């Protein structure tokens, strides 16, 4: 809808010209407002993080309220990888099952339950994750407890994006494969999943972008750690970037505050880049 | 002959085994959403039972949130539930805090989001239109803790030193808007922070619906000599009204459940109701996150269960809101956008 054509307004009556003027003024006002808000957020992060713009920020771990962000960055990536491993099979399987095997009612019900899950506040996942995984199942503050909690939280996004990708595969191709004597398993593997690959990968990236920006489900499942995450899945707490933003910003030490800004900046860029990437792959 | 017959049988047997295996495997994994939802709801209901036995309906109407005397020798038995003496769990202040922050944020966000959507789909010329759409979607992807940081560092001081006193000066005849501005983290800061978070969701949902109005209709209206604002009011707006409603409810769902940003800027007031928009508040979500540490010191686990009850109520409200949004958005034919009501703006 490119509307850059020149609009002549001189023939309009005063009332209509006034209305048009107001409409345009208000629209450009909204444009200015959102650009101001966005740049204010970004500028706050950039300016505040300037003292932490140093290589050591990336390569040293945090010590108390100082040091670097290496443990938080690696921790966020580590938790994201684990979450990905858990959520991708569940998401793809759910979407495939409802599309290939489930009855129409079952399909509707499953998608409804999945969408409803997307409306559950993240702190509820954090609370139940803490009580059930950390305490009752005895995982302790750990990467596994955090990843399971995050996976449960982003599951609906994975299900929905996989489903949308699988639906896009033309049903004619599926029917032709059936006519050639393909079994259902073969159709799923070489027609459905192969055809929906881009959409599914894009959806996985978007789901992980959502998981990376979360704090509430992690506070009581991953806790916080000053050292780099080990490969141990249980009983070893993990540091992550959102925790740094939340706690370090409220400290009176300039070094801690700079790290909090830096962590926020990295998060915004990381999540933004992944959202753009995920959307580009899906499109 | 027999061998080949047997060979066919075995390969068919293998094939049907694979078939069954794949179907069963996928079916088991497909139970995941049910397991998660039933697990969450079931567990929260289970922890809520003793809380309701102890507090009865007082859970909804009492203001005080008090773990009781944790140094007491023995827990006492009240209504068949073991609690520390003097413990009291009233959620009214948190219910009110959640309601106030969310509703005020929605009231501020919806007009702005509406204008943004109109600008991004129609109102401004094309390079700006696309830039605006991208910016709004990027804002939807900013993690909530970053909004919390922005609220804490920028909005809080600005409200305490500039906006608050100004509002107090001009609006003081209205009771809820008058009072001294004593702190940076208060109801107003929480509301404005939430507003920033809700705007992208409402704006994106509405923009997509507006951009979908067929180009031919817009061109036809232009050919009739209508100006931009007339085209907007008579062609675009009637076809995006439902999306604005749906987006508003989705945004409300996001605001109700928001934890970190509110935890950082609301002042986390316990045991008091906000007197005006400059007083500290706390919401249900922020209280669960902020009070879980303290609640763990309660040997009867009652405080932890009471937080779970807050979670249950919060979840019930959020689910109701999201289901309503889903009905509205789906009935508007927008199922393929936003996954039929997924609250996160990133999708």
Residues A44 and A167 in one domain: no
Place of tokens 């990905």: A84
Please report whether residue A264 resides in a domain.
yes
Q: How far is A118 from chain B (nearest CA, A)?
A: 6
The answer to whether A254 faces chain B, any CB pair under 8 Å, is no
User: pLDDT of A207-251, one tens digit each?
Assistant: 999 999 999 999 999 999 888 888 888 899 999 999 999 999 989
Q: What is the pLDDT of residues A48-69, one digit of tens each?
A: 999 988 888 888 888 888 888 9
A8 domain residue, yes or no: no
Predicted confidence (pLDDT) per residue in B214-225, tens digit: 889 988 988 888
The model's pLDDT over B130-175, given as tens digits with 9 standing for 90+, comes to 888 888 888 888 999 999 999 999 999 999 999 988 988 888 888 8
Nearest chain B residue to A39, by CA: B135
Residues in chain B closer than 8 A to A118 (CB atoms) = 322, 339, 341-344
Q: What is the CATH number of the domain that holds A176?
A: 1.10.3720.10
Question: Over pLDDT 90: what percentage of chain A?
Answer: 64
Are B104 and B6 in the same domain?
Answer: no
Same domain, A71 and A43: no
Q: Give chain A's count of helices (H) and strands (E).
A: 13, 2
| Whether residues A132 and A34 fall in one domain | no
pLDDT band at A203 (very low <50, low <70, confident <90, very high): very high
Answer whether residue A5 is part of any domain. no
Question: In terms of Cα–Cα distance, which of B180, B198, B90 is closest to B142?
Answer: B198
The B residues from 139 to 168 touching A (CB cutoff 8 Å) are 139, 141-150, 152-154
User: Do residue A35 and residue A104 come from a single domain?
Assistant: no
* A211 vs B180 pLDDT, higher one: A211
Provide the domain count of chain B: 2
pLDDT at B193 exceeding the cut of 60: yes
Residues B181 and B313 in one domain: yes
pLDDT score of A39: 92
- Kindly state whether residue B74 falls inside one of the protein's structural domains: no
Torsion angle, alpha carbons of B7, B10, B11, B14, to 10 = -170
Looking at the predicted structure, is the pLDDT value of residue A152 above 70?
yes
CATH no. for residue B125? 1.10.3720.10
Query: Helices marked H in B180-278 — which ranges?
Result: 187-211, 215-223, 228-231, 241-257, 260-265
A44 vs B154: CB contact, 8 Å cut-off?
yes
- Residue B80 phi/psi, 5° resolution? 75, 15
For residue A9, being part of any structural domain is answered with no
Find tokens 């099952």 and name the residue.
A97
In this predicted model, which residue has the larger pLDDT, A272 or B344?
A: A272
Q: Are residues B12 and B103 in the same domain?
A: no
Do A77 and A118 fall into the same domain? yes
pLDDT value at position B3?
47
Chain A residue numbers with beta carbons less than 8 Å from the beta carbon of B154 are: 40, 44
The pLDDT tens digits of the residues spanning A109-125 come to 999 899 889 889 999 99
A110 and A245 in a single domain? The answer is: yes
What residues have CB less than 8 Å from B58, skipping those under 6 apart? B90
Q: What's the gap in Å between the CA of B100 and the closest CA on chain A?
A: 17
Domain-located, residue A184: yes
Assess whether pLDDT exceeds 90 at residue A85. yes
- Residue A82: predicted pLDDT: 96
pLDDT at B73: 77
Instruction: Please check whether residue B48 lies inside any domain of the structure.
Output: no
On the question of pLDDT at B244 being above 80, the answer is yes
Question: Which residue among B23, B34, B121 sits closest to A101, beta carbon to beta carbon?
Answer: B23
Q: If pLDDT is split at 50, 70 and 90, which confidence band does B331 have?
A: low
Looking at the fold, whether A167 and A41 belong to one and the same domain comes out as: no
Chain B residues near residue A98 by CB distance under 8 angstroms: 30
> Worst-scoring range by mean pLDDT, A143-147, B38-42, B140-144?
B140-144
Q: Is residue A3 part of a domain?
A: no
Average pLDDT, chain B: 86
Kindly report the nearest CA distance between residue B184 and chain A, in angstroms. 13
Q: Encoding tokens for residue B307?
A: 């937080």
8 Å CB contact of A27 and B285: no
Q: Is position B324 within any domain?
A: yes
Closest by Cβ to B288, choosing from A101, A115, A127: A127
Note whether A239 and A100 are same-domain residues: yes
A38 and A124 share one domain: no
Same domain, A191 and A77: yes
Residue at B73 is within a domain: no
Is residue A4 one of the residues assigned to a domain?
no
Q: Is A268 domain-assigned?
A: yes
Statement to judge: residues B150 and B20 lie in one domain: no
Each residue of B159-168: pLDDT tens digit?
Answer: 999 998 898 8
- Please name the residue of chain A whose CA is at the shortest distance from the CA of residue B38: A113
Q: Is the pLDDT of residue B303 over 60?
A: yes
Q: Which of A165-174, B118-127, B315-324 has the lowest mean pLDDT?
A: B118-127
pLDDT (average), residues B119-125: 83
Domain that holds residue B297: 89-340
The rounded percent of chain B whose pLDDT value lies above 90 is 43
Distance from CA of A78 to the nearest CA of B (A): 18
In a domain? residue B208: yes
Q: Which of B57, B52, B60 is nearest to B81 (CA)?
A: B52
Same domain? For B287 and B163 the reply is yes
Q: Which residues contact B328 (CB under 8 A, 6 or more apart)?
A: B242, B245, B246, B249
Residues A201 and A232 in one domain: yes
Q: Looking at the structure, do residues B203 and B281 belong to the same domain, yes or no?
A: yes
The verdict on B100 and B181 lying in the same domain is yes
Q: Give the pLDDT confidence score for residue B79 in this predicted structure.
A: 84
**Domain carrying residue A249:** 56-282
pLDDT the model gives residue B183: 87
Residue A3: pLDDT over 50 = no
How large a percentage of chain B has pLDDT more than 70?
92
What's the confidence (pLDDT) of residue B188?
Answer: 94
B126: number of Cβ within 10 Å: 11
Question: Across all residues in chain A, what is the average pLDDT?
Answer: 90
Is the same domain home to B97 and B219?
yes
| Residue B172 and residue B282 in one domain | yes
Per-residue pLDDT at A15 exceeds 90:
no
Q: Which residues of chain A make contact with B304, given a CB cutoff of 8 A?
A: 131
Is the pLDDT reported for residue B330 higher than 70? Answer: no
Our count of domains for chain A comes to: 2
CB contact under 8 A, A250 and B264: yes
Q: Which of residues 254-283 of B touch A (CB under 8 A)?
A: 256-260, 263-264
**Same domain flag for B7 and B98:** no
Comparing CA positions, the residue from A254, A257, A272, A260 lying closest to residue A215 is A260
Residue A1, pLDDT > 70, answer no
Provide the pLDDT for residue A23.
Answer: 87
Per-residue pLDDT at A73 exceeds 90: yes
Q: How many CB atoms lie within 10 A of CB A197?
A: 12
Mean pLDDT of B247-268: 91
> Do B234 and B121 lie in a common domain?
yes
Instruction: Give the model's pLDDT for residue A14.
Output: 83
Above 80 in pLDDT, residue B332? no
| B274 within some domain | yes
Do both A125 and A261 map to the same domain?
yes
């Amino acid at each position: 809808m490119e509307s850059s054509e020149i609009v002549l307004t001189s023939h309009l009556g005063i009332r209509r010209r006034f209305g048009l003027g107001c409409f345009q003024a208000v629209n450009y006002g909204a444009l200015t407002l959102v650009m101001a808000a966005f740049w204010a957020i970004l500028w706050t992060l950039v300016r505040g993080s300037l003292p932490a713009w140093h290589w050591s920020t990336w390569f040293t771990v945090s010590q108390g309220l100082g040091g670097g962000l290496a443990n938080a960055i690696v921790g966020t990536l580590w938790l994201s990888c684990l979450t990905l491993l858990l959520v991708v099979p569940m998401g793809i399987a759910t979407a495939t099952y409802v599309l290939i095997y489930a009855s129409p009612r079952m399909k509707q019900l499953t998608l409804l339950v999945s969408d409803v899950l997307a409306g559950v506040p993240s702190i509820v996942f954090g609370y139940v994750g803490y009580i059930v995984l950390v305490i009752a199942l005895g995982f302790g503050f750990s990467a596994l407890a955090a990843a399971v909690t995050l996976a449960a939280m982003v599951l609906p996004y994975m299900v929905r994006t996989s489903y949308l990708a699988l639906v896009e595969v033309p049903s004619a191709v599926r029917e032709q494969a059936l006519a050639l004597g393909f079994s259902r398993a073969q159709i799923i593997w070489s027609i459905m999943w192969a055809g929906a690959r881009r959409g599914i990968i894009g959806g996985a990236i978007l789901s992980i972008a959502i998981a990376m920006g979360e704090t509430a489900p992690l506070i009581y499942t991953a806790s916080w750690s000053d050292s780099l995450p080990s490969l141990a899945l249980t009983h070893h707490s993990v540091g992550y970037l959102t925790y740094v933003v939340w706690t370090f910003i409220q400290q009176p030490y300039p070094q801690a505050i700079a790290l909090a800004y830096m962590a926020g900046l990295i998060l915004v860029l990381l999540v933004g880049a992944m959202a753009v990437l995920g959307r580009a792959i899906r499109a | 002959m027999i061998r080949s017959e047997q060979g066919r049988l075995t390969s068919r047997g293998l094939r049907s085994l694979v078939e069954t295996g794949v179907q069963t495997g996928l079916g088991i994994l497909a139970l995941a959403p049910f397991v998660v939802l039933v697990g969450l709801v079931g567990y929260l209901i289970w922890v809520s039972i003793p809380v309701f036995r102890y507090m009865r309906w007082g859970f909804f109407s009492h203001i005080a949130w008090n773990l009781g005397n944790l140094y007491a020798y023995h827990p006492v038995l009240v209504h068949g539930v073991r609690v520390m003496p003097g413990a009291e769990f009233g959620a009214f202040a948190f219910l009110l805090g959640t309601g106030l922050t969310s509703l005020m944020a929605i009231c501020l966000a919806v007009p702005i989001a509406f204008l943004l959507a109109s600008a991004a789909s129609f109102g401004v010329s094309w390079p700006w239109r696309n830039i605006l759409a991208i910016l709004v979607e990027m804002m939807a992807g900013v993690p909530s803790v970053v909004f919390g940081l922005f609220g804490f560092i920028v909005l809080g001081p600005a409200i305490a030193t500039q906006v608050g006193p100004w509002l107090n000066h001009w609006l003081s005849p209205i009771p809820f808007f008058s009072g001294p501005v004593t702190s940076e983290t208060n109801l107003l800061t929480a509301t404005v922070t939430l507003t920033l978070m809700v705007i992208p969701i409402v704006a994106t949902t509405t923009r997509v619906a507006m951009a979908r109005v067929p180009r031919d209709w817009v061109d036809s209206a232009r050919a009739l000599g209508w100006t931009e604002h007339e085209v907007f009011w008579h062609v675009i707006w009637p076809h995006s009204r439902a999306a604005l409603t749906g987006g508003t409810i989705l945004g409300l769902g996001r605001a109700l459940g928001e934890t970190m940003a509110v935890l950082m800027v609301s002042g986390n007031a316990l045991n008091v109701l906000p007197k005006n928009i400059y007083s500290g508040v706390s919401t249900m979500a922020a209280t669960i996150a902020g009070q879980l540490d303290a609640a763990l010191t309660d040997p009867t686990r009652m405080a932890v269960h009471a937080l779970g009850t807050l979670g249950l109520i919060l979840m019930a409200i959020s689910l109701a809101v999201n289901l309503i949004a889903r009905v509205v958005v789906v009935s508007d034919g927008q199922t393929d956008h936003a996954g039929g009501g997924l609250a996160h703006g990133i999708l």
